[in-house]
Structure 1
Amino acid sequence: MYPVNLKAATIAGLTAFSSVTAIPNAVDLAVIVVPRDAVLPVLNDCASKGIRSVIVISSGFAETGLEGKQAQDRLLEAVRQQGMRMIGPNCFGLLNTDPAIHLNATFTSAFPPSGRMAMATQSGALGIAILAAAHRLQLGVSSFVSVGNKADISTNDLLQYWEDDPSTDIILLYLESFGNPRRFARIARRVARRKPIVAIKSGRGLAGRRAASSHTAALASSEVAVDTLFQQSGVIRADTLHELFALARGLSDQPLPKGKRVGIITNAGGPAILCTDACETGGLSVPELSKATTTALSSFLPPAASVKNPVDLIASASPDHYTHAITTLLASKEIDALIVLYISVTFGDAAGIANGILRGISTARQAGGTNIPIYICWMAEGDLERTFQTAGETIPTFPFPEHPAVVLSKAFRYEAWRAQPLGMIPDFDDIDFGTARAICAQALSREGPGWLTVEDTRALLASTKLPLAQGGVARTEDQVAALACDLGFPVAVKLASHQILHKTEMGGVHLNLADEQTVRNAFAAIRARLAQENKLDAMEGVLVQPMLSGGVEVMIGVTHDPLFGPLIAFGLGGIHVEILGDVRFRITPLTDRDASEMVREIKGSRLLQGYRGHPAADVEAIEEVLLRLSRLVEEIPEISELDLNPIFALPPGQGCRIVDARIRVEKSSPAV
């Protein structure tokens, strides 16, 4: 280690040098902590010395405004010209617990124990708190990096490093922003197949809902995009720092659950109810136990005990009761995970209970119950900091009954994600991208950013081979009547206007018109209402369509997030979509697995499967629409918003029909 300082002869007992170039030996890493304007000259000295790795802790760069951003740009340019790599600026530093390295290039004294968790944070101040918590909780860390402004090395780079790091089994992230979220998704999806990634993303309340005129954009927000990105990439999202560490303990110390059946052992009813509620809220089940298992439990428990699940040993539970209950449940093959609760309800022997729990776990593990995760909720007055270890195994311990259930539910969802195939991105070679691109380009050239006309919208969707309902645009009363007769009654007549989006509010929708005269009357009524509102110039004509019967109304939409790229939405359709909010999102490109999950995740999915005598819907046809739209908006980023609502999903084998559609185009660059 070589301290560099203009004035000091020694620092902390080490010989100091007046400049980097004065150091006589080779240097692997430079940690720069000088005023902002001195950073670039020091970095150039490092380059002259042959140092290729630097950590810039100094602040005053992009986080301070335009002048700082310009200084950071100059710094990054020098880094790249010299073939260097840089962490920072405005960071807290780097820490590596490998005994062969034992590097603490931070200014924390809370050096955590060596372990197999890697951590990265964008907040330097929070980094101090994270390391202090890891030290206090004795969470083993392999390496820690504060990325600061991420001018050069980013979280994406660290994920790729930790992916192959033999010292790292789990990755923890504190994120405030994404530089390139689509690249993050690609990397995280690959890494999470091998190692759990747990992330906490701050700023949930800052995004809000942006002003938007389409249903999809009104439902989407940057926070929705973050949740969607994590879900698709297999990243486990923690809601709080406490949960981040709880997940770290659970994932690093126990196997992942192979199913969602949870057994609960308790000595009090209240905590067990809270734990059960949290399990079911998180998508887990607390199943009934078999007759054989309840009989086995009854053989050693007092008559007042409950041998149902949760198994309530009652307040007088002894260490042996816990031991035998644990071994019985773990041997039953009826659960995929076990949560053991203990609360001080009497002046009993907490230490004895702890030993009884450990005996049960040890015995069950020796008998072959090695693949079932076990969590403990320990609420023993005066003994809250107890740790549970047996035969080299650490059992995660939590202070409240909901905590292990939350950790277990997220661990289960992660394992379920990891067990699923990655999915395929279909390549539809029948999509006419040339025509679709030309329609968008001509509209932008003709009118600039805005909504496409009804005719352009239908032509663009037809080029994508999407299932449009029959129909056409008519501009005169006679054309409307002729088109209706050709299509066959009953028909719908709807205002065609790219300026008036919500047609119902303007009296622009007339349904179930049974003859020519009612069609003519509808056309006249629409013109009269628009004239009354001084909006007749916005009328392009009317769209005439045959009435559809049967099927389930659904909606599919797209909104283009400036950072995340296109988000596709799916939900039940009609006018209630924004009120109900029963919508699922995915970031493009969609795989066949994404499309299938979207359709099945909404609360109203039972309507698509057939409900109370109503026929099921053609789910495969819906999924194909999702996948074709994904290809379309990936290929043509000028599509900034799109709504297909409603789509009539007909019975299986009959496909679906897009009844209403609107598309907005803007000049755009594709997300990378």
Structure 2
Amino acid sequence: MTQHVELPPGYPVQWEADVVLRDGSVAHLRPIRPSDEAAIHEFHSRQSEESIYLRFFAPLKRLSDKDVHRFTHVDYEDRVALVLTLREDIIGIGRYDRIEPGSAEVAFNVSDHYQGRGVGSVLLEHLAAIAQEFGITRFTAEVLPQNRKMLTVFSEAGYEVTRKVEDGVVALHFDIEPTDRSKAVAMSREHRAEAISVSRILRPRTVAVIGAGRSEKSMGHHFLKNLLDAGFTGEAHPVNAKARKILGRTAYDTIADVPGPVDLAVVAVPAEKVLKVVDDCAAAGVGALLVVSSGFGEGGGEGDELQAELVRRVRGSGMRIVGPNSFGLINTDKDFSLNVSLSPSMPPHGHLGLFAQSGALGIAVLASAARRNLGISVFASAGNRVDVSGNDLMQYWIDDDETHAVGLYLESMGNPRKFSRIARNLGLIKPVIVVQSGVSSYGVPPGHRVRSTKVRPAVFAAMLRQAGTIRVSNVHQMFDVAQLLVHQPLPAGRRIAIVGNSAALGALSAGAVAGRGLTVTHGPVSLPTEATVEEFREALARAFDDPDVDSVLTCFIPPIVAHDEDVTEAVRMAARGSDKTCVATFLGMRGVDSSTSMDEGGTGQAIPIYAMPEDAAYALAKATKYAEWRKKDHGIPVAPAGINRRVAEDVVQTVLSVSPEGRRLDPDETAALLTAYGIEVWPSRKATSVEEAVAAAEAIGYPVVLKSTAPMLRHQGGVTGVRVDLGGEQAVREAWASLHERLSPLAAGQLEVQRMATPGVACVVTADEDALFGPVVSFGVSGLPTELLDDIAHRIPPLTDVAVSELISSVKAAPVLHGHRGSTPVHRAALADLIARVSVISDDMPEVVSLKLNPVNAHPGGVQVLGAEVTVAPVARRADPGRRSLT
């Protein structure tokens, strides 16, 4: 274990991060410490003369103690330095020094042995993000012309870089405010690195099973046997000091004795021995670990501590880990035939990628797929999910040609923002089916590291819809949908043809289709049960040839004249060569028609078969909705004009410097913050007497509104707590007397005066910072009935213009905004612009933990923000902080 290191004052622990490098290995990034002086000397001594000259413009064989002291003693604000370490050794250093209020000079030094692995890019990305926290907006750098690698780091980062050669040195200048291009570059690099790291796990050439025993009761024995029985194409080595031969293979005493490099080590030893095995694997240069041992976080107590130390050691050694408590991994690609799992049989090769967290569930999932004859490309069980997660597998599946659709069974989610981002990228090319009944602090399996959340399940559902995933309720539904998406073209529309041999079954099918929002445009055609195969073929041909049909649902009970196989063949022939979706209901059957499997040399698409019409209609509806999402315009990121982030940051930081625990902003602070983002809040004045109310009205200008400030009455409408359209002093006095008399018994007599707004629709726009989800923007139409009906829509920033529009339209009360019962529609563009600005605030500033605009008066001429409440507080770093990091 690492010795305890005393941290200097102000050491920013939140900057620490584990990152995946370009080759798929893991390194640890952290701020430099005074205790790093010896490590800096050691790092410098390993550098080549050329690297030293390119960094310091001089042949410094040894850095002076004075220079090293200056390098390692920083203030973590105006002078910042980061180091990237692997097995405690420094492999890269990046630093900036502020030279002007908004500008800093940046420099890097990368180990000769790790150049070309993206070390410089990672350091630049993190330094830029940190610099912006302190108001630095521009970096400068001086690079020798021959230092092409460092010049490439800057030029490929996505920033607009200007160059100028002076005295034989290239002077670089660039703004570090994230741009669409710089964000795209960072995300692309993250994707490639994480995909490669998973590829190294799923496509190993050498696998060692540590803990494989001679006894068939041994967990390691099962893993080794299943690996060999699957026909693994690489080298498989058991590691067991008490045996010489296991299953005919030479057993080695330790992992260090195994010949050649080991890509993947399966760890099947008691929990208390795992850390020693991890250290041995690190010393032997093992690429990744699959830990199947239990006894970690799922048991709590000491298991939690053991699990935390496990992931620290694994990542600190540059490895990745699946598990612990994992059911295993399977890759059916014939070039690997990898089965390091507890499944005794290899599932058939296919094109569905599966991810499950639970080991027990993994068995059920694979068994269900096998019963349906649904082939699998990759299966992964994350166990306690301390490192490799569904996000990592999705990164891999984006590029995996063998995977055409993805199924995820999620029992918890550690990083919803990153999940949403990656799932959207994957969903644009391959469907992602998610089984998740909900997300809450109460449903987290033991051993899973998950931040607590306060959001309602509706937010999780909205996040899945926003990412384009197909949400289902159980494994059966996941496979119902998957067998269609893997084997059939996506539906081109909602028009359905129904062909069968039973009027009752046809009617049932039509009802199921209509109930799922699809339209029957052909049929139901009901042939007699004694119909011949030729009659079946003709009816099916007419359905497929109908230009008003997008998908064909065939439904048959066992015919009297024709044999089942003859009917099945008729369906195959009709669907063959067609670009229309085809599903079949053969009562009592479920799965994929194996006789036409493309993997077996068939020339047509396999037909998904369902036991009941409702199942077929459900799958068709899910596939159709996904196809519509994939084809639609997803919009462009919102970028409202007139935003001054610096002013808003000053407001927040000023408040937190005085109130470190955070607090609700006063009206002036609220106005300043929102004005910086182009949001004007109508002023109001509190009045404790009728004379103050009259004076306030005259200062604001008539007509005015007099209303209660009591939370139980504000913004509820009606006449209980508000008097409107007061045109003069007498009206204000009468309104004051009326309200004071009514509200005093309720202790709600505090009143305020505000200018009378244009008649419109009262709405509410909120943004809340959640520990798990990050920023959540919500919208609804104000009013008690709407709130009781939970008619509130949610989205996760960053938003596009289309996402904002969908947010507005997704509430059930949306028709009142669009001219309900002949009223004039509100100014939708102005409302969308306001929501966009709120989304940008919430995305930019996690310290704004709560923002509520209520009421927002939307009317034909625009929007008026009549009330605003903002609370700020210090928050931990977001799970997806905007710079590459494993969380």
Output the TM-score relative to the length of structure 2. Answer: 0.66
**Corresponding residue SS for 2:583:** strand
Query: How far apart are residue 110 of structure 1 and its match?
Result: 3.2
State how far apart, in whole Å, the 1-side matches of 2:856 and 2:630 are: 32
Q: Which residue type is aligned with residue 628 of structure 2?
A: A
| Preserved contact between residue 724 and residue 756 of structure 2 (Cα < 8 Å) | no
Deviations 1:400-442 (A, max 9, x none): 1111221122212222222223422232341243444454455
Q: Which residue type is aligned with residue 617 of structure 2?
A: A
State how far apart, in whole Å, the 2-side matches of 1:143 and 1:461 are: 49
State how far apart, in whole Å, the 1-side matches of 2:592 and 2:417 are: 42
1:249 aligned residue: 483
1:360 aligned residue: 574
State how far apart, in whole Å, the 2-side matches of 1:252 and 1:569 are: 35
**1:69 and 2:281 are equivalent in the alignment:** no
**Corresponding residue SS for 2:836:** helix
Q: Which residue type is aligned with residue 542 of structure 1?
A: E
**Corresponding residue SS for 2:519:** coil
Query: How far apart are residue 588 of structure 1 and its match?
Result: 1.0
1:292 aligned residue: none
Deviations 1:366-390 (A, max 9, x none): xxxx221101111169x99975637
2:237 aligned residue: 2
Alignment gaps of 5+ in structure 2: 1-235, 444-453, 597-601, 881-887
Cα 1:343/1:579, change in 2 over 3 Å: farther
Instruction: Among all aligned residue pairs of Structure 1 and Structure 2, give the percentage whose two residues are the same amino acid.
Output: 34
Query: How far apart are residue 352 of structure 1 and its match?
Result: 3.7
1:296 aligned residue: none
Query: How far apart are residue 568 of structure 1 and its match?
Result: 1.4
State how far apart, in whole Å, the 2-side matches of 1:52 and 1:380 are: 47
**1:280 and 2:514 are equivalent in the alignment:** yes
Query: How far apart are residue 628 of structure 1 and its match?
Result: 0.6
**Corresponding residue SS for 2:520:** coil
Matches within 5 A, 1:211-230: 221-230=455-464
**1:310 and 2:310 are equivalent in the alignment:** no
**Corresponding residue SS for 1:632:** helix
**1:542 and 2:542 are equivalent in the alignment:** no
**Corresponding residue SS for 2:353:** strand
**1:186 and 2:398 are equivalent in the alignment:** no
**Corresponding residue SS for 1:637:** coil
Deviations 1:285-316 (A, max 9, x none): 223x5xxxxxxxxxxxxxxxxxxx32333555
**Corresponding residue SS for 1:310:** strand
| Preserved contact between residue 709 and residue 748 of structure 2 (Cα < 8 Å) | no
**1:595 and 2:804 are equivalent in the alignment:** yes
Q: Which residue type is aligned with residue 85 of structure 1?
A: R
Match of 1:659 among 850, 858, 866: 866
Match of 1:421 among 612, 633, 637: 633
1:240 aligned residue: 474
**Corresponding residue SS for 2:369:** helix
Q: Which residue type is aligned with residue 271 of structure 2?
A: R
Q: Which residue type is aligned with residue 869 of structure 2?
A: R
**Corresponding residue SS for 2:723:** strand
**1:376 and 2:584 are equivalent in the alignment:** yes
**Corresponding residue SS for 2:854:** strand
1:53 aligned residue: 288
Q: Which residue type is aligned with residue 255 of structure 1?
A: P
1:214 aligned residue: none
Cα 1:351/1:98, change in 2 over 3 Å: closer
Match of 2:616 among 399, 404, 408: 404
Query: How far apart are residue 72 of structure 1 and its match?
Result: 1.7
**Corresponding residue SS for 1:188:** helix
State how far apart, in whole Å, the 1-side matches of 2:781 and 2:646 are: 31
Deviations 1:429-458 (A, max 9, x none): 412434444544555645955544455444
**Corresponding residue SS for 1:226:** helix
Q: Which residue type is aligned with residue 551 of structure 2?
A: A
Q: Which residue type is aligned with residue 93 of structure 1?
A: G
Cα 1:522/1:610, change in 2 over 3 Å: closer
Q: Which residue type is aligned with residue 831 of structure 2?
A: I
- C-alpha RMSD over aligned residues: 3.1
Deviations 1:36-55 (A, max 9, x none): 01011112222233322211
State how far apart, in whole Å, the 2-side matches of 1:640 and 1:409 are: 38
Matches within 5 A, 1:26-175: 26-175=261-410
State how far apart, in whole Å, the 1-side matches of 2:265 and 2:833 are: 54
**Corresponding residue SS for 1:616:** coil
1:631 aligned residue: 840
**Corresponding residue SS for 2:489:** coil
**Corresponding residue SS for 2:732:** helix
State how far apart, in whole Å, the 1-side matches of 2:464 and 2:381 are: 21
2:820 aligned residue: 611
State how far apart, in whole Å, the 2-side matches of 1:529 and 1:460 are: 35
Cα 1:88/1:207, change in 2 over 3 Å: closer
Range with bigger deviation, 110-119 or 552-561: 552-561
Q: Which residue type is aligned with residue 603 of structure 2?
A: A
Q: Kindly indicate whether structure 1 or structure 2 has the higher relative contact order, using CA contacts under 8 Å at least 6 residues apart.
A: 1
2:430 aligned residue: 195
Query: How far apart are residue 113 of structure 1 and its match?
Result: 0.5
1:491 aligned residue: 704
| Preserved contact between residue 338 and residue 372 of structure 1 (Cα < 8 Å) | yes
| Preserved contact between residue 438 and residue 460 of structure 2 (Cα < 8 Å) | no
| Preserved contact between residue 207 and residue 223 of structure 1 (Cα < 8 Å) | no
State how far apart, in whole Å, the 1-side matches of 2:432 and 2:353 are: 10
Q: Which residue type is aligned with residue 416 of structure 1?
A: E
State how far apart, in whole Å, the 1-side matches of 2:848 and 2:566 are: 66
State how far apart, in whole Å, the 2-side matches of 1:355 and 1:273 are: 24
Output the TM-score relative to the length of structure 1. Answer: 0.85
Deviations 1:169-219 (A, max 9, x none): 2221111111211112122211221221111124468769xxxxxxxxxxx
Cα 1:336/1:517, change in 2 over 3 Å: same
State how far apart, in whole Å, the 2-side matches of 1:269 and 1:643 are: 56
2:674 aligned residue: 461
Cα 1:61/1:391, change in 2 over 3 Å: same
State how far apart, in whole Å, the 1-side matches of 2:827 and 2:757 are: 19
Deviations 1:545-581 (A, max 9, x none): 31432x3333322233220112112233323221233
**Corresponding residue SS for 2:835:** helix
Query: How far apart are residue 325 of structure 1 and its match?
Result: 1.9
| Preserved contact between residue 295 and residue 303 of structure 2 (Cα < 8 Å) | yes
State how far apart, in whole Å, the 2-side matches of 1:194 and 1:168 are: 11
Matches within 5 A, 1:471-510: 471-474=684-687, 476-485=689-698, 489-496=702-709, 502=714, 508-510=721-723
Q: Which residue type is aligned with residue 568 of structure 2?
A: A
2:156 aligned residue: none
Query: How far apart are residue 249 of structure 1 and its match?
Result: 0.4
**Corresponding residue SS for 1:168:** coil
Aligned residues: 628
Deviations 1:335-359 (A, max 9, x none): 1111111134868743443333334
**Corresponding residue SS for 1:376:** strand
| Preserved contact between residue 593 and residue 608 of structure 2 (Cα < 8 Å) | no
**1:574 and 2:787 are equivalent in the alignment:** no
State how far apart, in whole Å, the 2-side matches of 1:67 and 1:281 are: 52
State how far apart, in whole Å, the 1-side matches of 2:555 and 2:271 are: 53
Deviations 1:129-173 (A, max 9, x none): 111222222211111111112222222222111211222222211
Cα 1:584/1:522, change in 2 over 3 Å: same
